Amino acid sequence: MHGFTPRYPHRELPLAPRYAALGRPYQVEVPATPLPEPRLVHFNAPLALELGLDVGETQNPELLAILAGNAPWPGYAATASVYAGHQFGTWVPQLGDGRALLIAEIQTPAGQRRELQLKGAGPTPYSRGMDGRAVLRSSIREYLCSEAMHALGVPTTRCLSLVASPAPVQRETLETAAVVCRVAPSFARFGQFEFFRHQGGKTALAPLADHVIAEHYPHLIDQPDRHAAWLGEVVERTARLMAQWQSLGFCHGVMNTDNFSVLGLTLDYGPYGFMDRFRQYHVCNHSDAEGRYAYYAQPQIGQWNCSRLLRACLPLLADDESQALEIATGIFERYAPVYAAAMERRWADKLGLREIRAGDLALVNDFLAILQRGKSDFTRGFRHLAKVRAADDDPAHGAREELLDIAAFDAWTVAYRARLRAEQNTDDAARAFAMNRVNPKYVLRNHLAQAAIAQAEAGDDGEVAKLLDLLARPYDEQPELEAYAEPPSEALSPIEVSCSS
């Protein structure tokens, strides 16, 4: 090793170690466990350019060593953070970064602060007896989905690199190891505040909250009620995030409080899934036997998680508990109207409606009912609505063929067309263009991810790269890749995903 230094094209990449400055008890220094025989499966060059990294160094073995956890980021000591959480509704007093290490805090050329975290880099004090590793299967799924969600416009953590190794890892079967380098403005989560409420109260909560405010909500620094204002913004961001998930048919399989970001980011891609056939009770995680995190329940779970954060932060709101509860209740009550407004706007956009009017929600629900009764595809069903024209004599070719319950759809289009014509200056072509910018053509379906995983496990990383290129433009037609927009064939067995990774 010759001392690799991450750089902008012409100068050293500056560190911004402000979370590390908090020190104990918020994190502990933990060196990564070396990964044998690492190979670079994928390097996210567009993200690297945003970070200010020199993409010309992609083949540098010293960079690979850093991304594999075999060498430290120059000038930074890796750390793991402690947190608690409600897991499937049950309080767990101590969790933590059991296989994730914060390896760097940097400042990008645009002046933004970003944290880099290795997932799968070995055990930490919070591993609870586990090996601290991630497997290639789940690492590919996280890499693909975080970048797919980013391209869809959903706030999310992202992935810079994916490194594989032949090192064996025992899960339900024997698999091989991998390390993902995740990127986010912050990995701070609800569970950290839950932990420190029970481990020091206000004395421990305030430095963490003030760090988050200073770094990520700087407009609130000088407000006398900055903690209440910050929590209000977290609640509203969470509500809007849930609306985005719902409008895309995305299901997060482990919506525990330790997996919720105080920045309103989609965090921790374990078991997840974009629905194929629409089912309001769809559960994407077969470990979720009671369906706690089913599609229909996600908005309510988001709100419940916010209530846990607010309860944890009561000492920051007022010294008197009854007064703090009153403030927290007021903040909690902001969730429902923000979610409702965001959801109404998203459904309207998906139907091509510029205005929101009484009866629109019933129109949406009626269409969802048609999808559900006919076991029709959620993504394709909405995408092809752009082909419906406002004229009464239009047969809706290209849309009705997507639905099994054609008679119900034909009846529904009568009301839909009337609603389209109720808007002034309606233009079919302009509306179709706008609808195709909010209803994706391509999403990361489970069978697509599984095909990429199978090829990568056999040593061929080409499908991972191909999917990343496809999903970077989810709203574009890309006719040469039309097959990737198809739902899984009936011959394919349903793919089950679980918490095992």
Beta carbons of 280 and 368 less than 8 angstroms apart: yes
**Is 200 annotated as a binding-site member?**
no
Q: Among the options 54, 97, 258, 428, which is catalytic?
A: 258
DSSP state of 285: B
Smallest CA-to-CA distance from 179 within 191, 169, 188, 171 is with 169
Rg, C-alpha atoms of the chain: 23
DSSP string spanning 445-499? -HHHHHHHHHHHHTT--HHHHHHHHHHTSTTS--GGGGGGGSPPPTTSPPPPB-S
At residue 293, what is the residue type?
A: Y
**Is 182 annotated as a binding-site member?**
yes
**Is 264 annotated as a binding-site member?**
no
SS3 4: coil
| Cα(152)–Cα(182) distance, integer angstroms | 18
Please say if 258 is a catalytic residue: yes
Beta carbons of 214 and 194 less than 8 angstroms apart: no
**Is 377 annotated as a binding-site member?**
no
**Is 259 annotated as a binding-site member?**
yes
The count of C-alpha atoms lying within 13 angstroms of the C-alpha of 127, restricted to the half-sphere facing its C-beta, is: 18
**Is 132 annotated as a binding-site member?**
yes
| Cα(309)–Cα(188) distance, integer angstroms | 12
**Is 410 annotated as a binding-site member?**
no
Beta carbons of 162 and 452 less than 8 angstroms apart: no
3-state SS track over 320-332: CHHHHHHHHHHHH
**Is 189 annotated as a binding-site member?**
yes
Non-local (6+) Cβ contacts of 435 within 8 A are 349, 350, 351, 352, 385, 386
Beta carbons of 52 and 8 less than 8 angstroms apart: yes
At residue 206, what is the residue type?
A: A
| E-only strand ranges, 18-173 | 27-29, 39-43, 79-81, 85-87, 90-92, 100-107, 113-119, 134-135, 158-170
Beta carbons of 185 and 216 less than 8 angstroms apart: yes
| Cα(352)–Cα(339) distance, integer angstroms | 20
DSSP state of 126: T
Which tokens hold the place of 407? 């008679």
**Is 96 annotated as a binding-site member?**
yes
Helices and strands (H and E) in the chain: how many: 16, 12
Non-local (6+) Cβ contacts of 171 within 8 A are 135, 500, 501
At residue 281, what is the residue type?
A: Y
Tell me the catalytic residues.
Answer: 258
Would you list which residues are annotated within the binding site for ATP?
A: 96, 98-99, 119, 131-132, 182, 189, 268
Would you list which residues are annotated within the binding site for Mg(2+)?
A: 259, 268
Would you list which residues are annotated within the binding site?
A: 96, 98-99, 119, 131-132, 182, 189, 259, 268
